[in-house]
Amino acid sequence: MSLLAAAAPVHLGTGEAVVFWILGPIALAGALGMVFSRNAVHSALFLVNTMLSLGVFYVVQQAPFLGAVQIIVYTGAIMILFLFVLMLVGRDSSDSVVETLRGQRVAAILLGIGFAGLVGAGIARATQHLPAPGVEKAQQGSGNIPAIAELLFTRYLLAFEVTSALLITAAVGAMVLAHTEREPGSRQTQKELSRARFLNNPRPQTLPGPGVFARGNSVALPALLPDGTVSEESFATGLEPQEVEEMPRPTGRAELGTPDDALGTLDPAPLDGGHR
Amino acid sequence: MTLTNYLVLAAILFTIGAVGVLVRRNAIVVFMCVELMLNSANLTLVTFARANGTVDGQVMAFFVMVVAAAEVVVGLAIIMSIYRTRRSASVDDANLLKY
């Protein structure tokens, strides 16, 4: 082992250093952004950023299988699951700024800085001469995936089988937790739903959509009623309603001429010998 | 540039995740911070696999990923059911046992 350690290089190649110094700050920025962004969706996207960088690190560190699994399982499946739950729970369920324990945030950040300093310095000191022999010898020229498979189905076979039990338990548990029990016969028929809608609802029809009769159709633009006033029922939740600009109205048929003139289309329609 | 760089980066990421768990109130974001901590541990495992010259560390990282996937599924289902009963995803609001 000491012979191997003596032969193995301590310093890594330039290409790897370039990858590290580009993606390392990106991963760090993603992690910090995740913790400090108010919006939970932004947090999820920052975390995707960090996880993608880590996936590239795995590939660079001779673990291409893990890199692929990282990108497919973590950034693909798990983060989509997170986003699904975020959208179900509601995007505007953002953090409260009320501190239950006074001074807890400051204490947590100070603790984090201290912990990072201690652990980082300890690791840096303990591993500064750590050789990097690489995993080629363990792979015996057969590649990364056969080497992992060989270990997985020989030495770690029991753990692998227990993992299957864990996964099936998790799937059943998630179904049990997410299931809502409903009394048999308590489901409303279409007739009952329709009655409830028209008898108890002061407004059975749909709410006005955004931007009707206005110059844009953004959700931030409230609808304009035919008399030009803003319809308050069309305000989008969680958005500041903006000023709306009205569409120019036709003032009179005689001034406008053909519909093409009124709309300003390029090709004039052939005149039918009317009042022009 | 040595393997130390990866290990220090993993330590810093782990710390950021831990601080996030302590600081944030939204249960989903707390879960994301836990994921970040698991990921940084994975980076450490892969780095030490390279330092040891074996793929055992990579197999361990693989198992961590499996466990993390199971944990996320159950955890998010719990968050959903808490949200259904209490209309809130904040970890401070799930305090019935206090009283």
Range with the lowest mean pLDDT among A267-276, B19-28, B63-72?
A267-276
Residue A61 has pLDDT above 70, yes or no: yes
Report pLDDT for A261: 58
Report pLDDT for A256: 55
Report pLDDT for A253: 52
* B41 CA: distance to closest CA in chain A (Å): 11
Which residue matches tokens 């782990």? Answer: B14
Tell whether A83 is within 8 A of chain B (Cβ). Answer: no
pLDDT, one tens digit per residue, over A225-241 is: 777 777 777 777 666 66
**Residue B43 · residue B2 · CB < 8 Å:** no
Report pLDDT for A172: 95
A1 or A64: which leads in pLDDT: A64
Buried b (16+ CB within 10 A) or exposed e, B1-30: bbbbbbbbbbbbbbbbbbbbbbbbbbbbbb
Residue A92 has pLDDT above 70, yes or no: no
Residue B61 has pLDDT above 80, yes or no: yes
- What does the alpha-carbon distance between residue B33 and residue B19 come to, in Å, rounded to a whole number? 8
pLDDT, one tens digit per residue, over A112-158 is: 999 999 999 999 999 888 888 888 888 887 888 999 999 999 999 99
Report pLDDT for A231: 78
Question: Residue B29's closest chain A neighbor by CA?
Answer: A40
Cβ distance of B50 and A138 shorter than 8 Å: no
Tell whether A236 is within 8 A of chain B (Cβ). Answer: no
* Rama region for B94: left / alpha / beta (φ>0; ψ in -120 to 50; rest): beta
B10 or A197: which leads in pLDDT: B10
**A38 pLDDT tier (thresholds 50, 70, 90):** confident
- What does the alpha-carbon distance between residue B28 and residue A40 come to, in Å, rounded to a whole number? 8
- What does the alpha-carbon distance between residue A83 and residue A80 come to, in Å, rounded to a whole number? 5
Cβ distance of B65 and A70 shorter than 8 Å: yes
Report pLDDT for A5: 47
Report pLDDT for A79: 92
Q: What is the mean pLDDT of residues B59-88?
A: 90
Report pLDDT for A198: 84
Report pLDDT for A274: 44
The CA-CA-CA angle for residues A260, A261, A263, to 5°, reads 65
Q: What is the DSSP string of chain A?
A: -HHHHHHS-SSPPHHHHHHHHHHHHHHHHHHHHHHH-SSHHHHHHHHHHHHHHHHHHHHHTT-HHHHHHIIIIIIIIIHHHHHHHHHHH-TT-------SSTTHHHHHHHHHHHHHHHHHHHHHHHTTT-----SHHHHTTS-HHHHHHHHHTTTTHHHHHHHHHHHHHHHHHHHHHH-----TT-SPPHHHHHHHHHHH-S--SPPPPTTTTBS---TTSPPBPTTSPBPGGGPPTTSPPPP--BPPPP--HHHH-SHHHHHT-SSPPPP-SS--
Average model confidence (pLDDT) for chain B? Answer: 90
pLDDT, one tens digit per residue, over A172-183 is: 999 998 888 888
A252 or A129: which leads in pLDDT: A129
Cβ distance of B16 and A31 shorter than 8 Å: yes
Length of chain A: 276
Among B3, B87, B93, the residue to mutate for chain A (most A Cβ within 10 A): B3
Contact map slice: A 86-115 vs B, CB within 8 A: 86, 88-90, 93-96, 98, 100, 104-105, 108-109, 111-113, 115
Cα end-to-end span (Å), chain A: 99
Q: What is the mean pLDDT of residues A14-20?
A: 92
